[in-house]
Amino acid sequence: MVLLRASSEAIGTEANLDATVGRGDGGIPAGAALVAFAEAATRGSAELADVRAEVLTAVGPECLVEAAATVGIFNGLVRSADATGIPLDGPMRDASEEVRASLGLDAFSGAANTRARTGPARAGDATQDVARLFGE
């Protein structure tokens, strides 16, 4: 969220981060359809085919492919981070505190990884956590 906000500021726009949790359209063209697509794809919804057709009509095939790739990348990153227990590092935790609170992100199960860590993360923590997953 912090990077999205920073990148939108860099191009002179304001990011509406509510769309990142399925609320609103993010203030972008075809935003409602893109949010619905991301939600349907992430949840494996029966509405996915209909929403995909709506996105295709709204933005065309190239943008649909980009949207699908973005959904896939973010799902992979989040699931990998959650599965390995990677917490937010101290600077990112501090920088994103207000955004996480306003969007209710700390209520998501993956936030437990960050809440469980007290104090700054130490170098090697994530490596040790991954090694434990593989019994090393």
> pLDDT tens digits, residue range 40-67?
998 888 999 999 999 999 999 999 999 9
The closest alpha carbon to 37, from 78, 68, 14, 75, belongs to 68
Average pLDDT estimate for 68-85 = 81
What whole-number percentage of the chain has pLDDT above 90? 20
Q: Are both 46 and 76 inside the same structural domain?
A: yes
pTM: 0.59
Q: Are both 58 and 109 inside the same structural domain?
A: no
- Inter-residue contact 57 to 78 (CB < 8 Å): no
What average pLDDT does the chain have?
Answer: 76
Q: Write the pLDDT tens digit of every residue in 86-96.
A: 777 777 778 77
- Structural domain that includes position 5: 1-84
pLDDT confidence of residue 123: 46
Counted domains in the chain? 2
Q: Are both 129 and 74 inside the same structural domain?
A: no
